Amino acid sequence: MDWLGHASTTFTHAESPLPLQKKDGTTTNLLEVCKKATPPCQLNPLLFNGHVQTMWTAVKEHGPHIYYRRRIFDADHKTYNGTFAVDFVVDPHKDVDESLLPRTAYFTDESFAGISSEDTKPMLIILHGLSGGSHEVYLRYAIEPLVTNGGGWEACVVNARGCANSQVTSGVFFNARATWDIRQVVKWAKKTFPNRPLFGLGFSLGANILTNYVGEEGVSCLLKGAISVGNPFDLELSNKALQRSLVGKHVYQRVMGSNMKRLIGSHEESVRKHTKLDLDKIQRLTYLFEFDREVQTVTWGYPTETAYYRDASSSDAVLAIRIPFFAIAAEDDPIAVQEALPYGEIKQNPFTVLCTTSMGGHLSWFEIGGSRWHARPICNFLNEMVLGINLDSIKPETNGRVPASDWAVDFDPIRRKLLIHED
């Protein structure tokens, strides 16, 4: 029973899930791969609901030690310009850079120039949650089995602009639909490591960005698969749900708003140089939706924060996904709320499967002893896709859109109201 820490798991999927060819010549499908990858969800019974699970994250800060080397990328988009930081998982080192987070140091120009490889190791490209970075505990738990002790994976984390002690070098910040940096890194990785199968992993806001990216790329996506964890999907619904409750508004909205204020404040000089944002007004704000109203609307030209939420939501993008896509969510998640999960869209698309657990909180899933359950389905799914599935046999369909109605309308699931001009 849930109150003893045993969470039930439920799978939402298309009536006919994506067929997959195994390396041994037999066949399976995406649903079966996801089910096989998902172990029983036995959580710490003392952390008995989504609020306690989520809040325990702030208490339990330690986690696996992951070492990184950082490289600053110059954005290749004419409008979405500036720089962003990518942290690559590397072998343990003793280099210390006080300007960066623990266990992180910069590549030298010489060492990065020789990073290209013809090897066939699988590579994971990761997006973190709101105001986070490569240092996040939930992220390190998830990738540690893949990148240490002979796990065989290469990995990198694309840090959102200004996050993880990275610099802000233009007036363009990240937002929930800012897919440009992940797109550039995937293209770079495909060119630099031409034989590596590439996969994506996103958490919370990063999962929303990753889902938008995969949907926008459609049949042209260079990733072989993607995992979304704790994705809010419908940002307007999630925002309204948070504001409905005292805990949602005065705890979660307040904490996330404070984190974003602190992030902006840490880049005061750059913000004043590159933007027209009112820093004094921003520092007087309390809640995340107020921050989005004052920052996202001013930066991007949205008339309201709710217009931004609707435009940036990834729920519609689910319909355009054409690679194997595994979403993991907790039904008691107080931030990425259950009512925002795109059950109907998942059922329309054979390339997608959603696994929900009845407990787990937001990016928490604490087990007895402090381990994190979500690391296991993530690693199991990725390893099964690489070791058991013939990835070259997966052929994206080009006719997978929602069928036209009697009115012969054509629904475009990745249409955006905000247009980013190339010239």
Active site residues: 204, 333, 362
**203 vs 113, 132, 283, CA distance in Å?**
30, 10, 27
Spell 206-233 as b/e; 16+ CB within 10 A means b.
Answer: bbbbbbbbbbbbbeebbbbbbbbbbbbb
CA–CA gap between residue 184 and residue 82 (Å, rounded) = 13
CA–CA gap between residue 331 and residue 362 (Å, rounded) = 9
Amino acid at 241: A
* CB-count burial class (<10 Å; 0-12, 13-18, 19+) for 412: exposed
CB neighbourhood size of 282 (10 A): 19
> What's the distance, CA 258 to chain centroid?
21
- Give the end-to-end CA distance of the chain in Å, rounded to a whole number: 58
Strands 325-330 and 9-13: unpaired
CA–CA gap between residue 354 and residue 347 (Å, rounded) = 9
